[in-house]
Amino acid sequence: MTLMLLDSASLWYRAYYGMPDTLLAPDGMPVNAIRGYLDMTARLIGMYSPNRIVACIEGDWRPSWRVDLFPDYKANRLEDESEEEEEPETLTPQIPVLLDLLDAFGFPMLGVDDYEADDVMATFAVKEKGPIRIVTGDRDLFQLVDDKRDVKVVYLARGISQHDLVDKKWVSDKYGIPGDRYALFAMFRGDPSDGLPGVKGIGEKGAALIANHFATVEEALDAARKDHVSLPAALSKKIVAGADYLKIAPTLVHCAKDVAIPQMDIAMPKKPEDLSEIYAIKEQFGLGASVDRLISALGW
């Protein structure tokens, strides 16, 4: 009864950079991201046999409510001060084709205005019954692992073949912190990929020390102001100096878990009576065995 949540942008970026750019449609358009996404999805379905699936997409990769709190949120990804995320020009035309193909297959897809895909996945993860497998190449979603409800992250940083299945023990072993405190750890350490500085002067070791002794930002701040025995004086000073940032850090770092998810069928796609639309897209864009592998994985 596994629900698989696909962090679609993470997957198509990983596919784009992981597959050769010599994979071309008959008209010369690159299709490496499309083929890689299809191949990864087919393999993941084969590995985890989900009976529910959602391809989650960005409603807004810089939600206004996060940018209002912290204008530099993901500003490192902007180019020439435009409001568009820098995206490889040969990837951009592939995304609509991929989304059309997923729609033709009947995959449930969802993006919600003014929310990131992370927020959509987090909301599904708390509202739906487990087991739940969240497929991503980003660390942000480690905060969602929940052993009791069997929520784990299929972490693709090392590729599909060597991916990690992240649970609380994995987080604990990797970062030396309680497995349910990744978000707190990230608030202090920061996350350069999202343009989040963390608390000035606090790196991974300092953040781990804090996460080992305190469960919330408020607890850590209170302890720092009282020169708690668990905190070296220099670290306490840095925590207190970062108090203004720490007021907004939980909203920036925590995934929203209350996104308005519409009523939708998230069952695995059922074989349509007519596969002609899928085959037409396959032919037009030269997607070959990648489409066939996904059809086979779905048991059609």
Q: What is the CATH number of the domain that holds 88?
A: 3.40.50.1010
pLDDT at 80: 46
Q: What is the domain range of residue 19?
A: 3-175+256-297
Q: Could you tell me if 49 and 26 lie in one domain?
A: yes
Helices marked H in the chain: 8-18, 32-48, 64-69, 94-105, 117-127, 168-175, 182-189, 204-213, 217-225, 233-241, 243-253, 276-285, 288-297
What is the C-alpha to C-alpha distance for residues 71 and 143, in angstroms, rounded to an integer?
23
Q: Could you tell me if 70 and 197 lie in one domain?
A: no
Classified as helix, coil or strand, 110 is strand
pLDDT at 28: 96
pLDDT at 77: 74
Q: Can the peptide bond before residue 131 be classed as cis, meaning omega within 30 degrees of 0?
A: yes
pLDDT at 74: 86
What domain count does the chain have?
2
Q: Could you tell me if 108 and 136 lie in one domain?
A: yes
pLDDT at 196: 87
Q: Could you tell me if 157 and 10 lie in one domain?
A: yes
Q: Could you tell me if 97 and 227 lie in one domain?
A: no
pTM: 0.94
pLDDT tens-digit readout, 163-180: 999 999 999 999 999 999
Q: Could you tell me if 76 and 119 lie in one domain?
A: yes
pLDDT at 81: 46
What is the C-alpha to C-alpha distance for residues 70 and 262, in angstroms, rounded to an integer?
29
Q: Could you tell me if 134 and 42 lie in one domain?
A: yes
Q: Could you tell me if 146 and 194 lie in one domain?
A: no
Q: Could you tell me if 147 and 272 lie in one domain?
A: yes
Ranges of residues in the chain with a pLDDT under 70 are: 79-86
Q: Could you tell me if 168 and 23 lie in one domain?
A: yes
